[in-house]
Amino acid sequence: MTRLGIASIGLAALAALVYVYYTEIKPVVIFGLRSDYAHAIPFQPVPAGLDSLRAESCGTCHREIYEEWKSSMHAQAYDDPFFQAYWKKDNNIWVCLNCHTPLENQQPTLIKEIPRGRVEKAVQEPNPHYDPAYQREAITCAACHVRDGVILGPFDDSAAPHPTKFDPNFRTAQLCSRCHNVVSGPAQFYNVGPCGTYAEYEGRYFMKEKGFICQSCHMPEVERPVATGGPIRPGRRHVWRGGHDPEMIKQAVAVQVQADPQAPKPGEQARFTLTLINAGAGHKIPTGDPDRHFTVEFLVQDGTGRELARQSETMGRWILWQPAIVELYDNRLLPLASREYHFTYRLPKSAEEPAGLILKTRVRYHILTDSQHEMLERKYGLTGKDPYEFTVYERDLPLTGDLKTALSRPEPEARLACAAPGAEAAGGQATIRKGAS
């Protein structure tokens, strides 16, 4: 055979391999299928005694819970502009809906079969029960509470106008794991799947030593009537604050800044150390969406605001997306883990010149990077003006002034607005001191 012949056979074989790899091996989405979310929650009829499944209708009696839910990202998981943009990028594939709008009643098509587990080859049929307005309620009340015409909940003694049933899962992390435990698929080499928060929580400090469940931190305890006119009961606020709320991020991180030497002389080199601690999250920080990351920054400025030096480091996960998903590096912090960031700077020879020199230390949280944000705007119609980064710690230190006194002031403590049975909580607030282990 001629050389040309051999080369063409080789090329054809390679093309066939690439084809088989992309159509049969590597999933088209960035995660694998797990039985919990491979299918929608089956069609739910309206329970006896009620007119509608809609959250607003539950809200006529469960007003406060409705208002809380409405303010949460669960209520926005479909309209969320970041979801819409990424969903468009993934050709609006149906599988995303099984967590973002999980009830069959909320989905335009019924999935009959998923040949060989390939989501893009799913056999679909139009859904006669599809309610587009209900879809926009995203993770609505019924997604967690309604099964087979019965309202499931944490109590065994409710007197309600609708059928109720006690379900022990409401007081476990199991309820959250359905959607917050995304796994990796074939030819995807993640240590933990893309939204695999549950796996980062399981067996770690807050679960093992404190007995916390997801609800302990994400659904604060409250005593109130559960329904208008009902008895006062211990329940939980339906707020689920997370990465979109700077106050929640601040609860997760404790920061400490030190200098060596503590009182450097003019002309001397000083080494600054910023210690970042995951003091208050039951899982890694950041968690969830793999775009999430922190940056730790040191900036030197003179009195006029001119920047003389800058150093920035990132904490997050680095993932190679093509040709296979390979997690290259993950330097996120597990619960109670800490990391030191160093910055060295030679102080000016004179204590006066340049005047007003300061070191700015800053920790920022990013929902995504500037370049991804720009890409989503340019190519996938992201229009929302939602903020996508927050400063969660900021401290200015004088480099030409009294650094030692400035450093001796205490750092703010990480406060956890959560309590769980058996937790050592004082007045509902567990305080974690820096350096706790």
- Residues 306 to 365 in contact with ligand HEC, rule: CB under 6 A: none
In the bound complex, what is the minimum distance in angstroms from residue 284's beta carbon to ligand HEC?
Answer: 8
In the bound complex, what is the minimum distance in angstroms from residue 113's beta carbon to ligand HEC?
Answer: 18
Strand-pairing partners, residue 285, are: 333
Binding mask 93-132 for ligand HEC (x = CB under 6 A): x-xx-xxx-x------------------------------
If one asks whether residue 288 binds ligand HEC (CB under 6 A), the answer comes out as: yes
**CA 10 to mean position of chain CA atoms:** 45
Question: Mind giving me the DSSP string for 39-60?
Answer: SPBPP-PPPTT-S---HHHHTT
User: Which of 32, 40, 80, 135 lies at the binding interface for ligand HEC (CB under 6 A)?
Assistant: 80
Binding mask 361-400 for ligand HEC (x = CB under 6 A): ------x---------------------------------
**Cα 316 from Cα 297, distance rounded (Å):** 15
Alpha-carbon distances, residue 41 vs 98, 107, 112, 125, 319 (angstroms): 8, 10, 14, 16, 31
**CB under 6 A: which stretch of 15-23, 178-186, 312-320, 399-407 binds ligand HEC?**
178-186
In the bound complex, what is the minimum distance in angstroms from residue 393's beta carbon to ligand HEC?
Answer: 13
User: SS3 of 304, please?
Assistant: coil
The answer to whether the bond into 266 is cis (omega within 30° of 0) is no
Binding mask 398-427 for ligand HEC (x = CB under 6 A): --------------------x---------
**Cα 208 from Cα 198, distance rounded (Å):** 14
In the bound complex, what is the minimum distance in angstroms from residue 404's beta carbon to ligand HEC?
Answer: 32
User: Which of 110, 111, 175, 296 lies at the binding interface for ligand HEC (CB under 6 A)?
Assistant: 175
- Residue whose token pair is 């601040």: 250
Strand-pairing partners, residue 406, are: none
Give the footprint of ligand HEC on residues 131-160 (CB under 6 A): 139, 141-145, 151, 153-155, 158-160
Alpha carbon distance, N-terminus to C-terminus of the chain = 69
* Under 8 Å between Cβ of 340 and 274: yes
If one asks whether residue 33 binds ligand HEC (CB under 6 A), the answer comes out as: no
- Joined tokens for residue 426: 């004082």
Alpha-carbon distances, residue 313 vs 293, 339, 352 (angstroms): 10, 12, 30
Give the footprint of ligand HEC on residues 246-265 (CB under 6 A): 248-249, 251-252
**Cα 212 from Cα 252, distance rounded (Å):** 15
If one asks whether residue 10 binds ligand HEC (CB under 6 A), the answer comes out as: no
If one asks whether residue 289 binds ligand HEC (CB under 6 A), the answer comes out as: yes
In the bound complex, what is the minimum distance in angstroms from residue 258's beta carbon to ligand HEC?
Answer: 24
Backbone angles phi, psi at 182, to 5 degrees: -80, 130
User: Which of 245, 313, 377, 411 lies at the binding interface for ligand HEC (CB under 6 A)?
Assistant: 245
If one asks whether residue 27 binds ligand HEC (CB under 6 A), the answer comes out as: no
In the bound complex, what is the minimum distance in angstroms from residue 315's beta carbon to ligand HEC?
Answer: 10
Backbone angles phi, psi at 425, to 5 degrees: -115, 135
